[in-house]
Copies of this chain bind each other. A is one copy, B any other.
Amino acid sequence: MDQKEIVLGIDIGGTSTKYGFVDKNGNLLAEGEMLTEAHRPSDEFFGRLHIEAENLFSSRQESLKLIGIGLGAPNGNYYKGTIEQPPNLSWKYVDVVATLRSWYSIPIALTNDANAAALGEMLFGAAKGMKDFIVITLGTGLGSGIVANGELIYGHDGFAGEIGHTIVDPNGRQCGCGRRGCLETYASASGIRRTVEELLKKPTPPSELRQINFEQVTSKRIFEAAQRGDALALEAFDITGRYLGLKLADSIAYTSPEAIILFGGLAAAGDYIFSPTKKYMEEYLFNIFKNKVKLLPSSLPKGNAAILGAAALMWKQLLKL
């Protein structure tokens, strides 16, 4: 019987880690999830991950051949195969590839989660066939993966593509990175929440969000209010789109992409975020780029996108795409 070649895709998150087996067409054949428990040593985590992946592999009926492993992780470094100073994990420095080498002698590659998302879109999603595009992940923060000339831009040190930490206003909002005015303090799930917080301090407009405790004001709650026509929620989306559109206009001046793909929790707000972002992006765009660049939603299945992205990193390498 012919063996089906598969790649193990692993997405390491602050709370939980997802993993699964993905074939070269982007079919997810089996998947699992486990707690990351990053307060415990990283060796323990990878030991558990190895056992879980082996169990998942054995549980399959068909004849599979594991030919590579791809990982997405916060601050994952492609060149070194390491995780360094990850923002949401208490590990300081983990040599991920070396650790996995104790069990696997197949190719292993690692990058950060936004880069993995970009490769996922390129191989299996909205950027199929594109050579120049940018993926923006709008989660708690703002991550990005930039593809130019058909290649992900890793940069000299492996950490390229930090659009969330380009500066909107050097005197602006305090960012977790220690500086002020980073794009992710405005355009992200936490950014829109801060915008609502500022709007709530003013006497108008009226809003259902004034009736609840601010603790309960999540980006999802803001979206729901906007759907009901809430003026303040709509204004918050407009402001978020303005900052994002302004900086995406800069992004286009850098790499002149065919498309920018928005991904992640805040992107799920659909037109409420796409429409103002597109409007301001075009308004702030240098003439030669106007009305050329598509603003697209991700087309990867929502729950599996991160696994598919991690697997795509390895498939791109194996298929020499």
**B-contacting residues of A (Cβ < 8 Å)?**
75, 84-85, 130-132, 146, 148-149, 151, 153-163, 165-167, 170, 177-179, 182, 246, 249-251, 253-258, 284, 286-289, 292-293
B253 and A166 contact, CB distance less than 8 A:
yes
A191 CB → nearest B CB, Å:
17
- Among A131, A167, A249, A258, find the residue whose CB has the most chain B CB atoms closer than 10 A: A167
19 more CB-based (< 8 A) A-B contacts, given A156-B256, A170-B246, A251-B254: A84-B288, A131-B156, A146-B255, A148-B151, A148-B155, A149-B151, A149-B153, A149-B154, A153-B255, A155-B255, A156-B257, A156-B258, A159-B288, A161-B253, A163-B254, A165-B286, A167-B249, A177-B286, A182-B286
> Which residues of the partner chain B approach A178 to less than 8 Å between Cβ atoms?
287
Closest to A292 in B: B157
> Which residues of the partner chain B approach A132 to less than 8 Å between Cβ atoms?
155-156, 160
Closest to A155 in B: B256
User: A160 is contacted by which of B158, B160, B255 (Cβ under 8 Å)?
Assistant: B255
User: A253 is contacted by which of B75, B148, B163 (Cβ under 8 Å)?
Assistant: B163
> Which residues of the partner chain B approach A153 to less than 8 Å between Cβ atoms?
148-149, 254-256
A246 and B156 contact, CB distance less than 8 A:
no
A160 and B179 contact, CB distance less than 8 A:
no
A160 and B177 contact, CB distance less than 8 A:
no
A-B contact pairs, 27 of them (CB 8 A): A130-B156, A132-B155, A132-B156, A148-B155, A149-B153, A153-B255, A155-B255, A156-B256, A156-B257, A156-B258, A156-B292, A157-B256, A158-B256, A159-B289, A160-B254, A160-B255, A161-B253, A162-B253, A163-B253, A165-B253, A166-B254, A167-B250, A167-B284, A177-B286, A178-B287, A250-B250, A254-B254
Closest to A153 in B: B148
> Which residues of the partner chain B approach A289 to less than 8 Å between Cβ atoms?
157, 159, 162
> Which residues of the partner chain B approach A284 to less than 8 Å between Cβ atoms?
167, 170, 179
A243 CB → nearest B CB, Å:
10
Instruction: Give A161 to B252 CA distance when docked, in angstroms.
Output: 9
> Which residues of the partner chain B approach A84 to less than 8 Å between Cβ atoms?
288
B160 and A256 contact, CB distance less than 8 A:
yes
A214 CB → nearest B CB, Å:
29
Given contacts A155-B148, A286-B177, contact A161 B254 (CB under 8 A): yes
> Which residues of the partner chain B approach A85 to less than 8 Å between Cβ atoms?
288
- Among A131, A170, A258, find the residue whose CB has the most chain B CB atoms closer than 10 A: A170
Instruction: Give A289 to B249 CA distance when docked, in angstroms.
Output: 23
Instruction: Give A308 to B253 CA distance when docked, in angstroms.
Output: 25
> Which residues of the partner chain B approach A162 to less than 8 Å between Cβ atoms?
253-254, 256, 286, 288-289
